[in-house]
Amino acid sequence: MTALPDVVKAEQSLGSRIAGVLGGTLVRIFLIVIGLFWLLPSFGLLMSSLRDREDINSSGWWTVFTAPSQLTFSNYDALLSNDALMDSLVTTLLITVPSTLLVVVIGSLAAYAFAWMDFPGRDWCFLAVVALLVVPVQVALIPISSLFDNLGIYQSLFSVILFHTAFGLPFAVFLLRNFFAEIPRELLEAARLDGASEVRLFTRVVMPLGGPAIAALGIFQFLWVWNDFLVAFIFADPGSPPTTVAIQQQARQFDNNIDVIASGAFISLIIPLVVFFAFQRQFVSGVMAGAVK
């Protein structure tokens, strides 16, 4: 009566252990296969970018395994002398950096006001901002292009930056307001008692304490703007577009100059990847905060 269940139990655990080991191996193999499968497309792009265009047009990138002599940096050399693409990298920076900074600064200001200042209609205003979180950018394309046209800034750097900043704000305000609200009241009061002005309070206490959230927001906005195609496609100056649009222009222009496109695309994704690996934690926390446009 007492022994029997024990035996059964032992058998069960043995059986499940074997199953567990087998299953574990299977799971590992499955995951490795999936992982490789996931890497395959990007790897294909990398390999394609390292072959010259005659090779790309005559065979697949996997032939590099049998004929590694195909590999060459000539596309990247050509890229360096391709003014259109090199200029576009600068343009991308000129759009991305200001848009990120503006969102962080303007967003923090508003978020601080929502979190710690008292004014009539505060809650309603904040609700409105939250409502704007889900507005698709597409809705704004036509009205804003004609608005900007009337202002004479359509298809300029400025118009892209303004658009990105505006559409980054709802999320920025939402994220930062929640973060700032968590700052211990005593800290702010103490500073206030020391005679700090509202501005000083903001720059010396709130901003430093908000570091992690601001970092997450900054990374997120940076990647979003860097990777944007549609907004730049419509609002950027077609004469000096950012990288995503420049690559697209190359594609439509020559149709099959995949050598330029592949190497250009690869360069364009290096920066986001570096940012991603360097600030992985912040990026993930940005994503976790629901930041997905």
Partner 1 sequence: MTSAVKPSGKPAKSVMGTRRWVAMLFLLPAAVLLLAIVAYPIIYSIIRSFFDQSGDSFVAFDNFQALFTDEDNLTAIKNNVIWVIVAPSVCTALGLIFAVLTERVSFGAAFKMVIFMPMAISMLAAGVIFSLVYQQDPERGVANAVVTGIHDTFSESSAWPGARPRPNDDVLAGPQKGPYTTKDTVSAGSPALLPLVAVKPQDLETAKPATEPKAASGGGISGTVWVDFKPGGGGKLGAIDSGEKALKGIKVEAVKDGKTVASATTGDDGTFTLPKEADGAKLALPASNFGEKYNGVDWLGPSLITPAIIASYVWMWAGFAMVLIAAGLASIPRELLEAARVDGANELQVFRRVTVPLLAPVLVVVLVTLMINVLKIFDLVWVISPGANLKDANVLAVQLYLLGFGTDTDQGMASAIAVVLLLLVIPVMIVNIRRLRRETRR
Partner 2 sequence: MRSTGNARKRVRTAAAAAAVLSLALGAAGCGDDDSGGGGNGKGGGQEETVKLPKLDGQSIQVAGTWTGPEQKSFKVVLDEFSKRTGAEVKFVPTGDNVAGFVGTKQAGGAPPDVVFAPQVGVLQEFVEKGWAKPVNSAVQKELKQNFVQGWQDLGAVDGKQYGVYYKAANKSLVWYNTNAFEQAGVQEPKTWDDFIKTAQTISDSGVAPVSVGGADGWTLTDWFENIYLSQAGPEKYDQLAKHEIKWTDPSVKDALTTLGELFGEDSLMLGGKNTALKTPFPDSITKAFTPPDAPKAAMVFEGDFVASFIGDTKAEVGKDAKLFPFPAVGNESPVVSGGDAAVILKDNKASQAFLTFLASPDAAKIWAERGGFASPNKNLKISTYPNDVQKTIAEALIQAGNDFRFDMSDQAPAAFGGTKGAGEWKALQDFLKDPKDVAGAQKQLETDAAKAYK
Least Å distance, CB 38 to partner 1, is 5
Please choose which of partner 1, partner 2, none residue 253 contacts, taking the beta carbon within 5 to 8 angstroms, the exact cut-off set by kind.
Answer: partner 2
Nearer CB in complex with partner 2: 57/280: 57
53 interface partner picked from partner 1, partner 2, none, CB below 5 to 8 A per type: partner 2
- 154 contact, one of partner 1, partner 2, none, CB 5-8 Å limit per kind: partner 2
Least CB distance from residue 159 to partner 1, whole Å?
A: 10
Planar angle of CA 70, 76, 80, nearest 5 degrees = 155
Q: CB 81 → partner 2: shortest distance, Å? A: 10
User: Least separation, in Å, of the C-beta of 51 and partner 1?
Assistant: 11
- Contact partner at residue 246 from partner 1, partner 2, none, CB < 5 to 8 Å by partner kind: none
Which residue intervals of 118-257 are DSSP H helices? 122-132, 137-151, 157-181, 185-193, 198-200, 207-209, 211-227, 230-235, 243-254
Q: Is 228 helix (H, G, I), strand (E, B) or coil?
A: coil
CA neighbours closer than 13 Å in the CB half-sphere of residue 49: 20
HSE at residue 289, side-chain half, CA atoms within 13 A, is 24
* 60 interface partner picked from partner 1, partner 2, none, CB below 5 to 8 A per type: partner 1
Report CA torsion sign: 99, 105, 107, 110.
negative
Tokens of 150: 């009337």
Give SS3 for 219. helix
Binding residues for partner 2 (CB under 8 A): 53-54, 57-58, 84, 149, 152, 154-155, 238-239, 249, 252-257
The three-point CA angle 275-31-41 to 5° equals: 55
Minimum distance from CB of 1 to partner 1 (Å)? 19
